[in-house]
Structure 1
Amino acid sequence: MGWAEYEQLLVTRNDQSVPRLKYADGYLALKMPTFEHGQLIAIVVDLIVAILNQQLRDYVHTTPVTLQIPEQAGIEPDHCFWLNNWAAVNGKSRIDLATEPSPDIAIEVDVTNFTKVADYQPFQVSEVWLIRGDRLAVFTLTVDGYQPAEVSQFFPEIDLSSLYQQVVAAVSKGASPPRAIRSVL
């Protein structure tokens, strides 16, 4: 598939976010989010928003968003956060990576082993968070590509993986996600 066909497919979707699309090296991949996928992304996003609000930090977060580098790649993360560069995208209706910064964090929930963290490298996203079940892995962009990290550079004092696991465990025992988040924070 060529870039023109990929762009035409994006236009025919009329800003719908399903299916999620990924285009790289002439190949198109489609992902159909499930209920489980939606629950897991909601948990991690609500957790991060709660932490950011506790810290009184400014941010912009969104889903869906299509990140594109014309003629090369396009990807639709499950969720994105702009933390350091929030003001540059605040109030925008569209993001153009030629003039606006990439998100600081892209989050992917991988129920079907769809995600390749390296696919984010052309977009220069500082961190990619990959969720598989009750595991949250943080990958930080380095000169050698994405490397696993023990902590997020944006939350260096917080063990996000542990907090996420605690929330998921509490939810599996019957707590609502908001209650579970409040209990771990």
Structure 2
Amino acid sequence: MSWTEYQQLIANRDQRSTPRLKYANGYLTLKMPTFEHGQLDAIVADLIVAILNQQLRDYVRTTPVTLQIPEQAGIEPDHCFWLNNWAAVSGNSRIDLATDPPPDIAVEVDVTNFTNIADYELFQVPEIWLIRGNVLAIFAFTSEGYAQTESSQFFPDIAIPNRYQQVMAAVAAGASPPRAIRSIL
């Protein structure tokens, strides 16, 4: 598929957020989020928001958002968070990576093995949080690409993958996601 055809597809989709689209190297991939996907996405986003609110930090969060590098790639993370650069995008109606900073954290929920972390390298998002079931993996952008790391540079004192597993265990034991998040914080 050409870049022009990809842009036409996005325009024809109008304001709908599904299907989620990924364009790279002339190929288009579609993702149709499921109920499970939506639940996992909400849990991790709510966990991030709860921690940020507890720390009294400013942020901008969005879902969905289309990040594009013209003529090269387009990607639609499940959630994006601007933490260090929140003021630069606050109030924007669109994100233009030619002038706006990329999100600090992009969240991808991968129920069907859709995500390839390398797809984010052009975008230079500092962290990709990849959720596969009860496991949250953090990938940090380096000069050599993405490398999995045990902690987040944005929450250095919190074992985020461990907290996520605690939330998921509490949900599996019958707690609602908000109660589970409150209980581990």
State whether TM-score is above 0.5. yes
User: What's the counterpart of residue 85 of structure 1?
Assistant: 85
Structure 1 gap ranges (5+): none
**1:170 counterpart SS class:** helix
State the 1:15 CA deviation. 1.9
Residue pairs, 1:24-173, within 5 angstroms: 24-173=24-173
State the 1:79 CA deviation. 0.3
Q: Work out the CA distance in 2 between the residues paired with 1:169 and 1:42.
A: 16
Q: Work out the CA distance in 1 between the residues paired with 2:16 and 2:64.
A: 8
Q: Work out the CA distance in 2 between the residues paired with 1:23 and 1:130.
A: 19
Q: How many residues align?
A: 185
Q: Deviations over 1:60-83 (max 9, x none)?
A: 000000000000000000000000
> What percent of counterpart residues are identical?
75
AA at the equivalent of 2:145: G
**1:77 counterpart SS class:** coil
TM-score by length of 1: 0.99
Q: Work out the CA distance in 2 between the residues paired with 1:112 and 1:72.
A: 24
**1:118 counterpart SS class:** helix
Q: Deviations over 1:140-168 (max 9, x none)?
A: 00000000001000000000001000101
TM-score by length of 2: 0.99
Runs of 4+ in 1 over 4 A off after TM superposition: none
RMSD, aligned CA:
0.4
User: What's the counterpart of residue 175 of structure 1?
Assistant: 175
Q: Work out the CA distance in 1 between the residues paired with 2:12 and 2:132.
A: 31
State the 1:17 CA deviation. 0.5
State the 1:173 CA deviation. 1.2
Q: Work out the CA distance in 2 between the residues paired with 1:160 and 1:38.
A: 20
**1:29 counterpart SS class:** strand
Structure 2 gap ranges (5+): none
